[in-house]
C-alpha cells in the first residue's frame, strides 16, 4: 500500500510556477487542449506532454478518465502548477 508523506503545516507554501487550463474540446479527437497563460514555458511544455499521454484519446465519460484526471492533478501539485479543468459540461465537472 502507498504511504502518504506527512505534510508539515509550518512549511512555507510556495507560489505556483505556472498556470494551466485543460479544456475538453468535444467528441472528436483530439479531445483536449492544454493552455497556459503564465509561468515557466519549459515546465508547461513537459507537463503538456505528460497530460497528452494520459488524456489524448480519452473522453471524460470513459471510466479511465477519472483515474487519469487524478494522476494529472497530482502531477500538477508536485510541479507547483495551478491547474483548472474546463470540461464544458456540468455532468463531467463533478467527476
Check whether 9 has a pLDDT greater than 80. no
Secondary structure class of 1 (helix, strand, coil): coil
* pLDDT at residue 57 in the model: 84
Average pLDDT, the chain: 84
Cα–Cα distance between 58 and 70 in angstroms, integer? 14
* Domain locations along the chain: 18-93
Cα–Cα distance between 39 and 18 in angstroms, integer? 4
**Stated pTM of the model:** 0.77
Amino acid at each position: 500500500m502507498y504511504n502518504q508523506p506527512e505534510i508539515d503545516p509550518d512549511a512555507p507554501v510556495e507560489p505556483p510556477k505556472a498556470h494551466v487550463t485543460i479544456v475538453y474540446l468535444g467528441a472528436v479527437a483530439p479531445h483536449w487542449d492544454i493552455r497556459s497563460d503564465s509561468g515557466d514555458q519549459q515546465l508547461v511544455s513537459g507537463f503538456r506532454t505528460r497530460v497528452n499521454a494520459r488524456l489524448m484519446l480519452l473522453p471524460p465519460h470513459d471510466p479511465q478518465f477519472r483515474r487519469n484526471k487524478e494522476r494529472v492533478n497530482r502531477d500538477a501539485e508536485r510541479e507547483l502548477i495551478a491547474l483548472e479543468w474546463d470540461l464544458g459540461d456540468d455532468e463531467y465537472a463533478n467527476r
